[in-house]
Amino acid sequence: MPRLSIQVRGVVQGVGFRPFVFRIAHVHAVTGWVRNRPDGVEIEIQGPQSSSDGFLIALERERPTPARIEHVAVSEIPEVDGESRFEIVASGASSETRPSVPADLAICPDCAREMDTPGERRYRYPFTNCTYCGPRYSIIEGLPYDRPKTSMKGFPLCPDCLKEYTNPLDRRFHAQPVACPTCGPHLRLVGNNGAEISTRDAALEGAVAALQRGDVLALKGLGGFQLLVDATSQEAIEKLRKRKRREEKPFAVMFPSMEQLEGDCVVSEEEARILASPEAPILLLQRRPGAGVHEAVAPRNPRLGAFLPYAPLHRLLLKEANRPLICTSGNLSEEPMAIEDADAFERLGEIADLFLIHDRPVLRPVDDSVMRVDEHGPSILRRARGFAPLAHPVAVDAPPVLALGAHQKNTIALLHRGQAVVSQHLGDLHSLQGTRLLERTVRDLLAFFDVKPQILACDLHPDYASTRLAETLAAQWQVPLVKVQHHHAHVAAVMAELGLDVPVLGLTWDGSGFGTDGTVWGGEALVVDARGFRRTGHLRTFPLPGGERAVKESRRSASGLLWELFHSLEVIEARYTPSERPLLQSMLERGLNTPRTSSMGRLFDAVSALTGIRTMRGFEGQAAMELEFAAEGVTDSGAYPWDFLEEECLVADPASMIRAILEDLRSGLSARIIANRFHGALADLAVAWASRAQIENVVLCGGCFQNALLARLVRERLVAAGFRVHLPISFPVNDGAISLGQAWVAAKQAELTA
């Protein structure tokens, strides 16, 4: 009888893969064994040819839902005499560690039913999980993924849990976080001074009562602390906004059930599937008129970030509260979320009225993922819980590369043995806490895979915290540092994800990125291939009076643009006080603190301010978002004109467009129609740049393409003109994918010079 050695790589640990293999081995009557290895799962089977064939077919077709098989290697080896059964054996070592870290998963239907059934051991137990669900990445200390290498090592299993854990036919076989009320973690309700109020069921009841009376609750969730309030109470929402210093940015809302969610939002079949998936992300949905969720959750926004309870503790809270709850990261604006009790008491003590905590340590912050679905399918806007740090195959052959990402929406990426591991969303690096989290994540990722990078990559900007850390580490490790221009990295990230190995035209439109000429780029057309990039088009540059202040005041972008085009501020003067006007004029006349930019994001801001839609922003992208919302549903198919300047590349001059906008404003044309025509003009610009470059494959990337209307119009116009259009799917279109692009560029350079 032939004996086969089977090496399986992919997401095959922490997802019930070994018990699955055990079961199909019994079904197909083969002997042998299965075990975890740091690089995946190793299997040996022996039996008649028909049994072995049936096993291999089942291995591929019947795998557990959370598993992802990326590679299977099968080879024939010598038979073993006297073997009578199939076993699951202890984890083995490997000299070739490959990325294979499981992500945190939402509670599965079986565990949910168990929690809801009186008389079950885990009835109403807030830490119920099994092989197919529960915490993974947030509790792992090292590989291979076994209980002694998780934060559950401090909870010895009771006899009942041990029986489940050691039974290969049980769905909790080797479920590393397995626990029950007898041996597992439990809840505590404490005041914002850390004093204990109650424990276990009483703690849960006290937390529900607090939410119902409008208090702010800090909850120690699956991947860190979250802040919860009643999403139907204006008073509770305004209390949270004031304390969290988050004036207008939308909050995500968790609904008790799909039925209640569908009462407030329009949900397609595909969106319903994603909401109930093991990843259970926040999904951007269309709000229904007269929704029960208060308008203050997402002011002037037709969409709502909605999701379902993905952790047992969430299910219990939402069921008892019987209302939708705002569920947002436990932090102050621009800080990472807290994961340790003491840190949470210190940083969130002035925000939360009460803390619902537990004694299962969270080892790393894992925020909620965010997705949307459009006519071309789902895409990720923030990649975290459920997705990170799942490895993605990348077709490069280079030494290990570590890339440290951007300054905002930071992630880091490790490229090793043909796999890219991109960390969870880390957030912005404006704060000391953010920088420290970046440093911890670097150590974390390298320790997981026991890798020393041979190449480092970072952004071209000299003042980013990620750039400074990269410079320090490169000097310490004595390895080369590759600095990658921001928009080059945007395009490269899509090429890495989709395996594009031909030259592409990258339309990379965003807020800002340090350009090779010292200006602030952001409205770019770049031709990119494995050798590098060249700039083939960009927006005409204009000054930003006040520099960083212009990012927060869209009226300043409008002022700089008007000054550049017409040397006049007349139409924007009313947006300033009498004392502000001479200072602004002087700044522009003398060129003081007025960096020049080609940013598409700032062009959006300028048009938003000129139309009166938004002159001052409360959060990143607000002016552009409200311009998009104004344009939605408008049937006018017009588009404003462009002028083009032939220089080293094709420069798009918005002078004629701005004149036409000002003329329409004077004639009383609706701001909604103007906003729609502006979007149409940008779609025309995309076709103009693509026609000039004459490259078939066009990549759309950068934060501006989070705008669903813009992405749709640009894609449609380019496809109609005969181009093939590519947008990212598994990684964000925004700066969350910059680290992947940096790693790809550095690896390609290494390939070319090898």
pLDDT digits (tens, 9 = 90+) for 115-147: 999 999 999 999 999 988 999 999 999 877 889
Strands 392-393 and 401-403, bridge-based pairing = unpaired
pLDDT band at 99, cuts 50/70/90? low
**3 state SS of 125:** coil
Q: How far is CA 714 from CA 302, 461, 644, in A?
A: 22, 29, 19
Segments in 417-501 forming alpha helices (H): 432-449, 465-477, 486-498
- Residue 384 near residue 410, CB atoms below 8 Å: no
List the CATH number of the domain containing 721.
Answer: 3.30.420.40
Average pLDDT over residues 700-726: 97
Q: Which of 208-212, 294-298, 414-418, 542-546 is least confident?
A: 414-418
Q: How far is CA 257 from CA 307, 315, 494, 548, 628, in A?
A: 9, 9, 35, 43, 30
Q: Is residue 261 part of a domain?
A: yes
Q: Is residue 675 part of a domain?
A: yes
- Residue 537 near residue 695, CB atoms below 8 Å: no
Average pLDDT over residues 384-390: 95
Q: Is residue 123 part of a domain?
A: no
* One-letter identity of residue 400: P
- Please check whether residues 330 and 461 belong to one and the same domain: no
**3 state SS of 543:** strand
Q: Give me Rg for the CA atoms of the chain.
A: 27
Q: Is residue 192 part of a domain?
A: yes
d(CA 477, CA 149): 27
Q: How far is CA 532 from CA 399, 484, 503, in A?
A: 19, 10, 10
Q: What angle do CA 10, 491, 649 make, to 5 degrees?
A: 165
- Please check whether residues 418 and 467 belong to one and the same domain: yes
Question: Structural domain of residue 639, as residue ranges?
Answer: 509-530+535-731
Q: Residue 526's closest CA among 482, 494, 499?
A: 494
- Residue 519 near residue 560, CB atoms below 8 Å: no
Q: Is the pLDDT of residue 694 over 60?
A: yes
Kind and range of the H or E element at 23? helix 17-27
Q: Which of 72, 88, 104 is the last residue of a domain?
A: 88
d(CA 669, CA 661): 9
d(CA 509, CA 512): 9
Q: Is residue 464 classed exposed, middle or buried when 0-12, 13-18 and 19+ CB atoms within 10 A define those classes?
A: buried
Q: Which of 64-73, 253-262, 354-363 is least confident?
A: 64-73
Total structural domains in the chain? 4
Angle separating helix axes 580-590 and 554-566, nearest 10 degrees: 50
Q: pLDDT averaged over the chain?
A: 94
Q: How far is CA 116 from CA 25, 144, 219, 485, 555, in A?
A: 33, 33, 21, 53, 54
Q: Which of 56, 88, 120 is the last residue of a domain?
A: 88
Percent of the chain past pLDDT 90, that is, above it, reads 84
- Please check whether residues 193 and 327 belong to one and the same domain: yes
Residue for token digits 């885990």?
122
- Residue 505 near residue 697, CB atoms below 8 Å: yes
**3 state SS of 191:** strand
- Please check whether residues 599 and 687 belong to one and the same domain: yes
List the CATH number of the domain containing 72.
Answer: 3.30.70.100
d(CA 489, CA 365): 25
pLDDT band at 70, cuts 50/70/90? confident
d(CA 393, CA 418): 6
- Residue 292 near residue 233, CB atoms below 8 Å: no
Strands 282-287 and 303-307, bridge-based pairing = antiparallel
pLDDT band at 93, cuts 50/70/90? low
Q: Is residue 156 part of a domain?
A: no
d(CA 432, CA 412): 17
- Please check whether residues 379 and 492 belong to one and the same domain: yes
Strands 86-88 and 542-543, bridge-based pairing = unpaired
Q: Is residue 220 classed exposed, middle or buried when 0-12, 13-18 and 19+ CB atoms within 10 A define those classes?
A: buried
Q: Which of 308, 323, 358 is the last residue of a domain?
A: 358
d(CA 372, CA 379): 6
pLDDT at 96: 53
Beginning with the edge strand found earlier in the chain, give each strand of the sheet holding 3-11 in spatial order.
68-77, 3-11, 40-46, 31-37, 86-88
* One-letter identity of residue 558: A
- Please check whether residues 642 and 742 belong to one and the same domain: no
d(CA 730, CA 720): 25
pLDDT at 92: 64
Q: In degrees rounded to 5, what are phi and psi of residue 242?
A: -65, -45
d(CA 231, CA 241): 12
Q: Is the pLDDT of residue 30 over 60?
A: yes
End-to-end CA, the chain: 46
Identify any residues that bridge with 525 across adjacent strands, giving them in sequence order. Answer: 507, 537
Which 3-state string (H, E, C) describes 356-387?
EEECCCCCCCCCCCEEEEECCEEEEEECCCCC
d(CA 637, CA 202): 60
pLDDT in tens, 327-338: 999 998 778 999
Average pLDDT over residues 187-194: 93
- The string over 182-205, giving b where at least 16 C-beta atoms fall within 10 Å of a residue's C-beta and e elsewhere, is eebbbbbbbebeeeebbeeeebbe
Q: 668 — alpha (psi -120 to 50), left (phi > 0) or beta?
A: left
Mind giving me the DSSP string for 251-298? Answer: PEEE-SSHHHHHHHEE--HHHHHHHTSSS--EEEEEEPTT-SS-GGGS
Q: In degrees rounded to 5, what are phi and psi of residue 623?
A: -60, -40
Average pLDDT over residues 72-100: 79
**3 state SS of 83:** coil
pLDDT band at 651, cuts 50/70/90? very high
pLDDT at 98: 56
Q: Which is it for the CA torsion 426, 427, 431, 435, positive or negative?
A: positive
- Please check whether residues 457 and 543 belong to one and the same domain: no
- Between 559 and 636, name the one with better pLDDT: 559
Q: Which of 158-167, 519-528, 570-579 is least confident?
A: 570-579
Question: The whole model's pTM is what?
Answer: 0.93
- Please check whether residues 488 and 517 belong to one and the same domain: no
Residue for token digits 């995309």?
686
Q: Is residue 368 part of a domain?
A: no
Q: Is residue 483 part of a domain?
A: yes
d(CA 208, CA 321): 6
Q: In degrees rounded to 5, what are phi and psi of residue 675?
A: -60, -40
Segments in 200-268 forming alpha helices (H): 200-212, 234-244, 258-264
- Residue 83 near residue 68, CB atoms below 8 Å: no
pLDDT band at 449, cuts 50/70/90? confident
**3 state SS of 301:** coil
Percent of the chain past pLDDT 70, that is, above it, reads 99
Q: Is the pLDDT of residue 94 over 80?
A: no
Tokens of 27: 């079904």
- Please check whether residues 434 and 316 belong to one and the same domain: no
Q: Is the pLDDT of residue 516 over 70?
A: yes
Average pLDDT over residues 17-21: 89
- Please check whether residues 329 and 440 belong to one and the same domain: no
- Please check whether residues 484 and 632 belong to one and the same domain: no
Q: Is residue 117 part of a domain?
A: no
pLDDT at 290: 85
Number of H helices, E strands in the chain: 22, 32
- Please check whether residues 195 and 305 belong to one and the same domain: yes
